[in-house]
Structure 1
């Protein structure tokens, strides 16, 4: 972005005239203001690429206008002019976000040099902003995370609420559900975009090396430590540290992580220096953290520190309606990654995919699609292209069946519940299904309990017990 429109604000008419004439001669669109209040009003009304402000003006001074511009129009570059070449003015101006400053009197060549440098800076800034927009677009919730099911809509709502803050997030879900993808989406849609996203799998590193990976070490800290090493916390400075499989972290290391979360500082192994860290923590696990806390394998205080905002990712079998969109996404991705021709998925193959149990979740689906795409002899995937999928094993009920209807309703209801806090789910769900079932059968049998018991295939005494337990009102019938 080249600089084209410039605002000059100075209470000295001669300064305004000289700068305006010189800059217009170079082809810039120049407007002038005679005091700070007028400059602020002009900035409110239109955009300027560069503002050249005198530090001392009637009304609002140059630093006041600088602060206003930085808050309202951060893309506008500001150059401060001052007649007093004091350290205080220079430091204050630069600290408040000025691009540069000039000490009066100055040669126009000095201003030309600053504008030339500012033009290059503006172009770099525009390129960075464009890159950020592209990254955010790539990692927007709608593009990087596929699915419109109700279960995923609940996840999207939580993501939208937490992405812009620095709040700690704990992502739970089975392996292959996309926990790191969620963590990256949080980072890419946060103010920390442009800073590092560092991922560490706590289960993939031996426990004796995990502390070193997190906090680093000083030279000579142990045998073989010939150089200083920075850990993941320092590498993620200003950005996000994603701690995957946090449930596998050793207890002794959990205490040190808790201290980092509380104090926001670390010490390298073998070192004495306290290092302040500015890092957002996003953690993930495929384990039941509540049970781990009860079993004393995970610290309760650390769990509550991490579980400020929980995000529970549904399994693929809990959102089967998303499978067609995921298949289409992975087919397009396979075409780009492997350089193959466009491939479609036949309706029969899609039904087979929807019926599979998918213990490996979305990751397993992606691998399955990649393998079938590479080996497919034509442009249409059929059921024969998925020989490892058994349609009769772990299959999903027919979409129109009673089982499928109950399954969908359960998925919808359970997606709104915090299952980690429940201990009687089976009994609760069973009662909610039994009560309407018995009511309906009793109505069909005209409240004849003998006949109702026959229809249900249970003993009459069992039916009576259930009627009492579930508090079902039964009208007396002469045939009973």
Structure 2
């Protein structure tokens, strides 16, 4: 029983002798051993360890790191908060750095000295504990992240990535449907960056006519064209020292893309009608609802510009994919519009909550905001109803509200997937699910699942 109070440490190593040595050396932890990809994934699902050591040379090809690198990717996909320490040979520094770039916490080169590796593992546990405390605090302070209201794992993951990327100067590309809050997220990146004391300048590339967009971005000299009575700085210059947010970058005309690329490469601008090169220091954040790779393939967007803009890509989930966020955001918007329109509407009726959760929200947060605003203005009672929200019942998805139904549906899907992945082998499926074989058989009988 005492061992259960120790932190779980997963060691993925195919050398039996080294396994024993490491288990003995790390007796302050609950050491879990795995010798290949399959056993590693089973133990990962079963224990969800905070720290993992991963020997990159695993069967069936222990002489190379390909299996280990693929496993690293799977581990980080299944447990993105786990700290993975990759273990490599002396001549594999380049591979070790590749693993770190892929998301590994650190690397250690063989031969293993337990005292040295212990220090790395200890630091990894300390960092994992700190991040876990921060996540819990962040979840408790739902509205503390620069105006972004979220508790869903989907959006919390985006916010955590923003915290990592904000202190850097890398270009960020925000991808998401219209109305998902891309400008709000761009503002959050700016507000927690070292550039927050300078301007964040936003420009919508789709809202300005093509013939005016160049002068809006780069400015113009007096006399450059009819009506240019004085020299005017462009948006890029106004953002000097700060952040330039290029919304709907996918709609930028090809001719202007070339000029923007030159600016990104040389960090100087030339105003329309001017010849002087003006140095400008800005951080670029771009956003679009288009799939830029498709536009590149169609010849509508420059490939070299795409790679310049997408040093880090953040995918913003649609509101319908953000489990639990709809009602949370709606309550915040209700408070906002109560103040704005001097109303005292106290909340949402049960049918309104059910409608909001079951509606697909094709317009995302912007559509939710419009419906709440309209309901606050038009409602005659102290509660907003589904009728006030003007949500068509024909557009509602069927949402099980009974927790038992939700749990049974999730368990059924997981069991069916495990059986498929194990090719009908019940023992293997039980291992994948972290269950005993009799327990799995019992659940299969309960849900009428056949192998």
* TM-superposed deviation, 1:281: 0.7
What is the SS of the residue equivalent to 1:152? helix
TM-score of the superposed pair, with normalisation by structure 2: 0.59
User: 1:335-350 maps to which residues of 2 (within 5 A)?
Assistant: 335-350=338-353
Equivalent-residue separation in structure 2 for 1:408 and 1:155 (angstroms): 24
What is the SS of the residue equivalent to 1:311? strand
Give the number of equivalent residue pairs: 289
The answer as to whether partners of 1:245 and 1:283 remain within 8 angstroms in 2 is yes
Residue from 144, 148, 156 that aligns with 2:151:
148
What is the SS of the residue equivalent to 1:336? helix
Q: Tell me what 1:435 maps to.
A: 420
User: 1:266-305 maps to which residues of 2 (within 5 A)?
Assistant: 266-305=269-308
Equivalent-residue separation in structure 1 for 2:409 and 2:372 (angstroms): 26
CA RMSD in angstroms comes to 3.2
User: 1:318-329 maps to which residues of 2 (within 5 A)?
Assistant: 318-329=321-332
Aligned: 1:175 with 2:178? yes
Equivalent-residue separation in structure 2 for 1:221 and 1:245 (angstroms): 27
Equivalent-residue separation in structure 2 for 1:240 and 1:434 (angstroms): 50
Distance 1:390 1:440, change over 3 A: farther
Instruction: Please identify runs of 4+ aligned residues in structure 1 that moved more than 6 A.
Output: 401-409
Distance 1:405 1:391, change over 3 A: farther
Equivalent-residue separation in structure 2 for 1:323 and 1:340 (angstroms): 22
Residue from 288, 308, 311 that aligns with 2:311:
308
The answer as to whether partners of 1:233 and 1:279 remain within 8 angstroms in 2 is yes
5+ unaligned residues in a row in structure 1: which ranges?
Answer: 1-137, 414-428, 444-454, 457-471, 475-480
Equivalent-residue separation in structure 1 for 2:291 and 2:397 (angstroms): 26
Equivalent-residue separation in structure 2 for 1:269 and 1:154 (angstroms): 42
What is the SS of the residue equivalent to 2:202? strand
Distance 1:439 1:152, change over 3 A: same
What is the SS of the residue equivalent to 1:241? strand
Q: Tell me what 1:393 maps to.
A: 395
Equivalent-residue separation in structure 2 for 1:211 and 1:148 (angstroms): 40
* TM-superposed deviation, 1:391: 2.6
What is the SS of the residue equivalent to 2:287? strand
Q: Tell me what 1:195 maps to.
A: 198
* TM-superposed deviation, 1:336: 1.8
Q: Using CA pairs under 8 Å that are at least 6 residues apart, name the structure with larger relative contact order, 1 or 2.
A: 2
5+ unaligned residues in a row in structure 2: which ranges?
Answer: 1-140, 430-447
The answer as to whether partners of 1:141 and 1:185 remain within 8 angstroms in 2 is no
Equivalent-residue separation in structure 2 for 1:139 and 1:184 (angstroms): 17
Distance 1:392 1:378, change over 3 A: same
What is the SS of the residue equivalent to 1:392? helix
TM-score of the superposed pair, with normalisation by structure 1: 0.55
Aligned: 1:262 with 2:265? yes
